[in-house]
Amino acid sequence: MSKPVALILLNWNTPEYTADCIKSVLEYCNPDHFDIIVTDNGSTDGSLELLQSQFPDLIYLDNKENLGFAEGNNRAIAYSISKGYTYSLIMNTDTLVDSDIISKMLQHLQSHPEAAAVQPAIYWMHDRNKIWNGDSYVNFVLGFTYNKKNTPESSNEHDYKKVEWVTGCCCLIRNEVLKQTGGFNKQFFLYYEDVELSFRLREQGYELHYLPSCKMYHEAGASGKEKKNNEGTLSPVIHYYVNRNKIWFLRGYGKPLFYPLVFLYNAPYYLALYSYFKLRGRNKKAEYLFKGLKDGFFTPKNLIWPSKP
Q: Which of 46, 48, 54 is nearest to 23 (CA)?
A: 54
Closest-CA residue to 121 (of 149, 93, 92, 145)? 149
For 284-309, write each residue's pLDDT tens digit.
999 999 999 999 999 999 999 987 64
Q: What is the pLDDT of residue 265?
A: 97
CA dihedral 12, 22, 239, 142 (to 10 degrees): 150
**Could you tell me where the beta strands, DSSP code E, fall in 50-204?**
59-62, 87-91, 95-96, 115-124, 131-133, 136-139, 144-147, 161-163, 170-174
Give the whole-angstrom CA distance, residue 83 versus residue 65: 23
* Whole-number pLDDT of residue 270: 97
Q: In the prediction, which pLDDT does 150 show?
A: 80
Q: Indicate the burial class of 37 (C-beta count within 10 angstroms; 0-12, 13-18, 19 or more).
A: buried
What's the whole-model pTM score? Answer: 0.94
Conformation bin of residue 241: beta by default, left when phi > 0, alpha when psi is -120 to 50: alpha
Q: Are 195 and 138 in contact (CB under 8 A)?
A: yes
Q: What b-and-e string marks burial along 39-67, b requiring 16 or more CB atoms within 10 Å of the CB?
A: bbbbbeeebbebbeeebeebbebebeebb
Q: What is the mean pLDDT of the chain?
A: 94
Q: Give the separation between CA 108 and CA 132, rounded to whole angstroms.
A: 22
Q: What is d(CA 116, CA 192) in angstroms, rounded to the nearest whole number?
A: 18
Q: In Å, what is the CA distance from 125 to each residue of 29, 36, 44, 120?
A: 19, 22, 26, 14
* Residue 52 confidence (pLDDT): 97
CA–CA separation, 302 and 289 (whole Å): 23
Binning pLDDT at 50, 70 and 90, where does residue 155 land? low
In this predicted structure, what is the pLDDT of residue 226?
Answer: 54
Binning the chain into helix, strand and coil, the percentages to the nearest 5 are 45, 20, 35
Confidence of residue 156 (pLDDT cuts 50, 70, 90): confident
Least confident of 148-152, 160-164, 276-280: 148-152
pLDDT at site 149 = 84
Determine the average pLDDT of the residues in 32-51.
96
